[in-house]
Amino acid sequence: MSKIDTRLNVSPVPPDEIFALNGAYAVDPHPQKVSLGVGVYRTDDGKPWPLPVVQKAEKELVVDDDLFRHEYTAIEGDVPFLGIARDLMFGFEGKQGEEEAKARIGSVQTVAGTGANHLGALFLAHHMKPPTVWLSNPSWANHQTIWELAGVPRKTYPYYHAATRSFDFEGMMSSLESEAQEGDVVLLHACAHNPTGLDPNKEQWVAIADLCERKKLFPFFDSAYQGFASGSVEEDAWAVRYFFNNKPDMEMCVAQSFSKNFGLYGQRVGAFHYCTNRASTTLRDVVVNNLCHLIRGEFSMGPRVGCSIVKKVLTSEELTADWHQDLQVMSSRIKTMRKALYNELVRLQTPGTWEHIIQQNGMFSYTGLSPKQVYALKDKYHIYLLKSGRASISGLSQKNVAYVAQAIDDVIRNEN
């Protein structure tokens, strides 16, 4: 074989675990296979669920027949959409001081939540040059990749207490208190922490905000599940709104995704919001200008169709009410399946404790299963979840939950 002549210096990188797992599931012919890997909502029949309100909006958009629907938008994105996304995130509803508060927020449209995280990391790397970004241990695997590519050194703060399968608040606070330095970025999951499903309570969020303010850290919120986690957009945005409203002298930012709460996984709808402190509102337009510079050099502007759907829904009182109902349907089914899995494991008297499954929140459960047990579930029972033990609860159904629980029980007992 002749030698390859190339100037490239490349070596293989590990495949993305989630997409590789989903690919393996897709080609598995086993009739009882179960996908608990990829984070997408599924009905009790295991099928995708285009939100009814999204289908209504799509029909209305067809009737509207907007001649400009395929035209370019502005570099910052669809401007009316940006105002709607901002108000949904920060909760502006004609409150006193609203205009002054809005003047602190610079918003741009992104390629979903991943793009918002990436753009924010790139912007901060260029213009703030943080010494370190602190990620929770564990966190969404893509956070590591995004900040690595942005060239920012990464450290982790404790988040998950394996022995109790609970949120390690004390470990998190102690680590940031003793090691984080002024100017460091702290990445926080606004709700439904991925992968653990464990969130700080409101008292703990207040303490985290106080620590960030006192140590002059920069909070970077990733909000991927607003309304999807609890069924309430207000409840799921509580932490973001608390930081913004109660710490007005602290800068922060938010990466906002509409993939989960509108079921628009393939439409890539997102926004990035940079919040100046109240003394620096004149910087907002300069921030947006620099964000646009990065956007122009990378993807020119955000996708139009998906944001048009969101805009259509959230500018109609009737459709907004329908959307809130759809959120309740999704969040309620997730909670029901958590309870069903817990009940089955208790009924089987499966070794271990399983209360954490119903105490966790949102799409994912950190089950506590070991990599060896996860591999056994896949190889013997054709049940697919991440090697960390993270399971996407939406993959459970009334038809398969008993099978999954029995399989978990079997692999644990056989191992013991």
**54 inside domain:** no
What pLDDT is attached to residue 271?
98
Which of these three, 276, 294, 315, is where a domain ends?
Answer: 315
Pair 309, 324 in one domain? no
The pLDDT value recorded for residue 63 is 93
Q: Any idea what the Cα angle at residue 304 is, between residues 299 and 305, rounded to 5°?
A: 135
Please determine, for residue 10, whether its predicted confidence score (pLDDT) is greater than 90: no
Q: Residue 365 is part of a domain; what is its CATH number?
A: 3.90.1150.10
Average pLDDT over residues 365-375: 90
Contact 71, 63 (CB under 8 A): no
Same domain flag for 294 and 145? yes
Query: Are 136 and 261 members of one domain?
Result: yes
Domain stop point among 254, 287, 315: 315
**238 catalytically annotated:** no
239 and 285 assigned to the same domain: yes
pLDDT at residue 1, as a whole number:
46
Per-residue pLDDT tens digits for 11-41: 888 888 788 888 888 898 999 999 998 888 8
pLDDT tens figures, 33-48: 999 988 888 988 888 9
| Dist CA 180 CA 185 (whole Å) | 9
Within-domain flag for 67: no
**Domain co-membership, 219 together with 233:** yes
Q: Output the 3-class SS for 245-276.
A: HHCCCCCEEEEEECCCCCCCCCCCEEEEEEEC
140 has catalytic annotation? yes
**Residue 67, class by beta-carbon neighbours within 10 Å (0-12 exposed, 13-18 middle, 19+ buried)?**
exposed
More confident residue, 122 or 23: 122
Same domain, 117 and 230: yes
Whether residues 307 and 356 share a domain: the answer is no
- Predicted TM-score (pTM) of the model is 0.93
**Structural domain of residue 344, as residue ranges?**
17-49+320-415
Catalytic residue chosen out of the listed positions 222, 236, 322, 326: 222
For the chain, what is the domain count?
2
Identify whether 83 is part of a domain.
yes
Q: Residue 3: its pLDDT value, please?
A: 62
Same domain, 379 and 355: yes
43-58: average pLDDT: 93
Q: Active site includes 44?
A: no
Q: Which domain CATH number covers 98?
A: 3.40.640.10
Q: Which tens digits make up the pLDDT trace of 279-328?
A: 888 899 999 999 999 999 999 989 999 999 999 999 999 999 999 999 99
Residue 164 lies inside a defined structural domain of this protein: yes
> Tell me, what DSSP letter sits at residue 121?
H
* 263 and 292 housed in the same domain: yes
9 in a domain, yes or no?
no
At 2 the pLDDT is 55
Of 134, 147, 247, 260, the catalytic one is: 260
Cβ–Cβ < 8 Å for 76, 107: yes
H/E run at residue 215: helix 202-215
- Max mean pLDDT range (86-100, 204-218, 337-351, 365-379): 204-218
Of 253, 285, 315, the domain-final residue: 315
Tell me if 280 is assigned to some domain. Answer: yes
Do 243 and 100 belong to one domain? yes
Same-domain pairing of 409 and 325: yes
Q: Does 340 lie in the same domain as 309?
A: no
Q: Measured at the alpha carbon of residue 298, what is the angle toward residues 293 and 303, in degrees to the nearest 5?
A: 100
